[in-house]
Amino acid sequence: MLAVQFIRENREKVLRSLTIRSFEPLNILDDILAADDLRRSLQQDLDAQRAELKSISSQIGQLMRKGEKAAAEEAKSQTAGIKSRIHELEQLSRDNAERLEELLLQVPNCAHETVPAGKCDLDNVVEREWKKDLPELPKEAKPHWELAQEYNLIDFETGAKITGAGFPLYTGMGAKLQRALINFFLDEADKAGYREFLPPHLVNEASARGTGQLPDKDGQMYHATADNLYLIPTAEVPLTNIYRDVILAEDDFPICLTGYTPCFRREAGSYGAHVRGLNRLHQFDKVEIVRLEHPDRSYQALEEMCAHVEGLLAKLELPFRTLRLCGGDLGFAAALTIDFETYSAAQDRWLEVSSVSNFEEFQANRLKLRYRPNEGKGTIQAHTLNGSALALPRILATILENNQCEEGIRIPKALQGYLGGRTMITK
């Protein structure tokens, strides 16, 4: 969440950012500043009324000690009107504070100066593309949903019967491949210095609001209404909320967290050929990496996280490219996002497998996540970052499609040790 003072001091910068993001209505900034002006005015009135009440109360005591009962009673009659006014101002202040917070929660993060303008994913900028040595596929190469059926790896129909479309049932080697990928990603994160957690898969409203999912993604999250809990769309939510309402020491940085969880997303309105098979799911597995950083180091940390994801894809021998997201495709809480896509040879298209984002202090403001500097007084907002390392469905899809051959489906060397040395999936 952007701080009111930041908006007041950087109004033109925030306005440019909202324009880059194609955010409307832009007059929300005027509404925020007007609500903040009212907050200040109400507080001044309250302070004045409370000071007057304190002064008259003191006079009443003095008058009573002097035996001037009539004067004391007259003074008491004045306090009744002041107390009524104070009660009225307090209610106005609470109502205005709620409205101000509602307005602030609607404003996305300021886009970093390097974020390109654009309205949708077609305007994202390709930064690097590693597409050499593409696999030589058989003439009758098949997409992963056909391979999954042919090799008895994923049962989409039974998954749909049990729950609904977008909830696949992994079977046999398909389930083992999932477990191998999860263990591989967690082991690599551990080697890179990330501490592993196994967090809850449901979070409360405060946690979802803290990382920016609420109110922005309210309709995209599965909501257990009886208990007012939300199924997590990513491990970023519970992992980052470990440090909600925490004050760190400057020497605590960097804090590096990782965790495997299933992820749940309603993806309302998703249909068509481009979402077949594993391309888009309502439940999927993912290993997440999260970092809490000193503001001076957060963009260096972003580069390190991108290098980590790049290393995973290289070890899995998957062609990939990176994109800098444009303003219109940028997530609500992100200041800058780098997407990773793998090339699916059988589908002849790029599939997103990771987003690595710097949220700067946007989430920290909501979370009240701060640190005490080694020098100076007070506290400062930390920076938060997160990235998929990696999301499994499209990784599995490209592994199956890119490694199909006449003998079966080759297993990348990086995963063979997790599968008992097996090198090939056969019928």
Residue 183 CA to its chain's centroid (Å): 23
41 is in an annotated binding site: no
355 is in an annotated binding site: yes
288 is in an annotated binding site: yes
Q: Where are the strands (E) in 361-414, listed by range?
A: 370-372, 380-381, 383-391, 404-405, 408-410
CB atoms within 10 A of CB 358: 25
Q: List the beta bridge partners of residue 355.
A: 339
73 is in an annotated binding site: no
265 is in an annotated binding site: yes
- Angle 231-235-241 (CA atoms, 0-180°, nearest 5)? 90
354 is in an annotated binding site: yes
146 is in an annotated binding site: no
Amino acid at the residue 54: K
The span from the CA of 134 to the CA of 402, in Å, is 8
Q: Is 298 buried (19+), middle (13-18) or exposed (0-12) by CB count in 10 A? A: buried
| Cα atoms in the Cβ-side hemisphere of radius 13 Å centred on 266 | 12
Pairing of strands 195-197, 255-264: parallel
267 is in an annotated binding site: yes
Residue 401 CA to its chain's centroid (Å): 30
Give CA torsion, residues 143, 144, 149, 152, to 10 deg: 150
352 is in an annotated binding site: yes
Q: List the beta bridge partners of residue 310.
A: none
Amino acid at the residue 361: E
The span from the CA of 13 to the CA of 54, in Å, is 44
423 is in an annotated binding site: no
The SS3 assignment for 164 reads: coil
Q: How many residues does the chain have?
A: 427
Query: What are the binding residues for L-serine?
Result: 234, 265, 288, 386
Query: What are the binding residues?
Result: 234, 265-267, 288, 352-355, 386
Query: What are the binding residues for ATP?
Result: 265-267, 352-355
